[in-house]
Structure 1
């Protein structure tokens, strides 16, 4: 895999003038708490696991209750439609193409990546309201033995092609038939994107072997199946943001499809507010055969969600822009905020699968299609099964010493895959229905004091009912306190700013919360 580099920006701004600050100083001190116990402004011990669930529970039910609909929840309705049987059928069909290696186009009728792309596009097109596109990935490969050298390089200029043709010692080059499959559910605010992704290509034991069977049932047929099922579940829901489902190509050859799409989205001026990358979510049925340890939960009970904090290696982009995007603490990067949101959604809608937040961008020395988006400052996380069984990943199908190797459908657990897909559906549904996250959220540091004043720029969005202040102790992994902050753009609490992290969410009229925006210390 290509190693990761990241970049991004965050806007800085000054707080309100002193006269206005004094006028509003007490405006938010007596707001009621939502889901956490306090006396006045003094925090009492809080079960942050319960409080994290509480705000999404309130969000899910508030809109329906206000309309007299009882407890009917459209997000829960969408989650309930996810079918293990359909997921299993999709995985079996994807594995049935023999190989989905990115260089396998033209392998014969019903075989290869081109046949798989056509099938996936056709399944998306069957869903009402979905717009489907197969977008060519602009890479080239050399024919003959030289393709082993240059396969997967995103080269587009004629001069570079000529030089690679010479390097191929007369073998020449040709364009591969490699495309991303993009399905769109348009929202009322089309410039806002929620992106769900997986990769369509597969590989056997040797990276550039496009002839050997590579069923790719789990890596990443499970993720593509999850995209198809998520699109079907989310299609009936009204949305503010657009939701894109992207089956990337060329992931196994260096993130080719995701690198290209990240560039295209950036150039188009679109805003990806969150990315959920579903990669290897099949929940291998052989997990019980792996080495056990008392510290590990039982197989099939946990989903790993990887999220990036600050770049931790010298080969990552050390620029000030990228460091700024990570936030003032390792635990408060945009991706870490998204990961918490995922876990809160899972606790509300899929309580029988635990979400474990992994404080890494991905597995050690490995990567995925969220990396090109992380580089651009996008909040992006990776969903991956509890434990990977490498006898059934990147292996040629064969039997050795009585053990069967290969990434085959029989080693995928449909029930587990359905739970993971439900978490993706719940998270995407909430994000697509939510307002934009607040902007210019700052802690007033113009004076010393025993209280904390947080300010932000109120939005003109008529669908925002109020804002919510979140707070947690600096060593706590989840938000511990949620407090109604009104609509004035300022709230003061009797919590010392040195000991707590703060953030602000926008809350829609139907109760759906936005992603949190971390409160930064203001410029003096």
Structure 2
């Protein structure tokens, strides 16, 4: 009876009182001041000057590193500041070029190898992607994401979390996602268990080129079939489903649900594509390595003020300048990211889940226990439904020991009727003792929140 009462309480009532809003102190004025600093570098083109203290990509990256150090000093040196570096040459980089990222690491207190990343690219460009001399203010693309990352570091570094948060400013995006690739490689070299990457690119405007404005939504792009699928898993997905249940898509669903719980702020418009049509962003190198990653961006884009030289033609003003931005909107997107990071850094990692419904009238769901989980949520949705249903079932950790089967028909405690699995997608989320629950991991081929290569290596 004690277990039954406890489980009923978990399902029916809030699990823990919420802490003070971690995003309450986000400052529009500070965001604007940081944008002005970035624009004052003239250009942040990846091919621009590396050793000029006032102009070019070198000065911009140095400033980003200095800001991270200053933020770290305010929290008792809680941030480890590093500058991953390489030399690149290739598409849009005609000669060997120094490439640096500015990165700050806030180590988790319990599971420091479990990592969430918030990132943006600090470089900019004009009309010609190879013109490194022209002024390229890059206010919205992607000064907006850059100042968001810095503000997130200011707010969240005043707290501690069981999971590590990484704040990253990336170079070389406009030349071909070079900084994103460097960062994804760095994560792999560190052996990080990356459970979420929030890539913020163009997040500071609310009106489009056609005059249509929307300051109530933010778009979250997520991939369908995983970029790191093997042929065997791709074949399994064709038979059993899972093309709409990648970890990145479940991260997108989780972000949408988080936004729905906050009144009077931005709503998420999920876009079920890896990125905008014909375009890309720094989330892609992470997806290629098998890390869950999404792109967060404005609801509508303004193409006259993106990738354009400063000029006026036929009465139209071109150029990516601060006066074309919407700073109240940028503040809301920043708050959205901070609240998401606060939750993601507090949750256990989504478990690895399997479902067996072959030639049976019920469904056997099994999952591996994860560190930091006090209980689990079992969710389901019809195969043609976009979102997890709200009638989720809480299962205490002591009810489902690691490695033990948890068949649906045995869950009398949770009042679950046997479910024919052919018609459903199942998932499991892991929850902390404080009530912070991870995104769902789907019980489909390649549904795990880990690179496929790493997961297959563990089973060999």
Q: Is the 8 A contact 2:228 2:290 kept in 1?
A: no
Matches within 5 A, 1:344-359: 344-349=257-262, 351-359=264-272
Q: Is the 8 A contact 1:103 1:178 kept in 2?
A: no
- The aligned length equals 420
Counterpart in 1 of 2:451? none
Return the match for 1:482 from 392, 396, 404: 392
Q: Is the 8 A contact 1:82 1:233 kept in 2?
A: yes
Distance 2:175 2:445 in 1: 42
Query: What is the DSSP-based 3-state SS (H/G/I as helix, E as strand, rest coil) of the residue aligned with 2:29?
Result: helix
Q: Cα offset for 1:245?
A: 0.8
Counterpart in 2 of 1:100? 44
Q: Cα offset for 1:225?
A: 0.5
Gaps of 5+ in 2: 401-405, 409-415, 447-460
Q: Is the 8 A contact 2:376 2:396 kept in 1?
A: yes
Q: Is the 8 A contact 1:464 1:506 kept in 2?
A: yes
Return the match for 1:516 from 425, 440, 452: 440
Q: Is the 8 A contact 2:11 2:394 kept in 1?
A: no
Which structure ranks higher in relative contact order (CA pairs < 8 Å, sequence separation ≥ 6)? Answer: 1
Distance 1:259 1:130 in 2: 23
Runs of 4+ deviating beyond 6 Å? 33-36, 324-327
TM-score normalised over the length of structure 2? 0.85
Counterpart in 2 of 1:455? 366
Distance 1:322 1:253 in 2: 33
Does residue 253 (structure 1) correspond to residue 175 (structure 2)? The answer is yes
Counterpart in 1 of 2:457? none
In 2 relative to 1, CA 438–203 (structure 1 residues): closer, same or farther, beyond 3 Å? same
Return the match for 1:469 from 375, 378, 398: 378
Q: Cα offset for 1:343?
A: 1.0
Task: Identify the range of structure 1 (104-113 vs 394-403) with the bigger mean alpha-carbon deviation.
Answer: 104-113
- Structure number with larger C-alpha Rg: 1
Q: Cα offset for 1:152?
A: 2.8
Distance 1:521 1:368 in 2: 26
Distance 1:346 1:300 in 2: 14
Distance 1:138 1:423 in 2: 35
Counterpart in 2 of 1:408? 321
Matches within 5 A, 1:218-237: 218-237=140-159
Query: What is the DSSP-based 3-state SS (H/G/I as helix, E as strand, rest coil) of the residue aligned with 2:15?
Result: helix
Gaps of 5+ in 1: 1-26, 37-57, 65-72, 141-148, 154-172, 293-297
Q: Cα offset for 1:187?
A: 0.5
TM-score normalised over the length of structure 1? 0.75
Q: Is the 8 A contact 2:429 2:437 kept in 1?
A: yes
In 2 relative to 1, CA 389–446 (structure 1 residues): closer, same or farther, beyond 3 Å? closer
Q: Is the 8 A contact 2:52 2:58 kept in 1?
A: no
Distance 2:52 2:236 in 1: 47
User: What do you get for the CA RMSD once the two structures are aligned?
Assistant: 2.7
Does residue 300 (structure 1) correspond to residue 224 (structure 2)? The answer is no
Q: Is the 8 A contact 1:325 1:377 kept in 2?
A: no
Distance 1:321 1:208 in 2: 41
Distance 1:404 1:419 in 2: 27
Q: Cα offset for 1:355?
A: 0.5
Q: Cα offset for 1:291?
A: 5.5
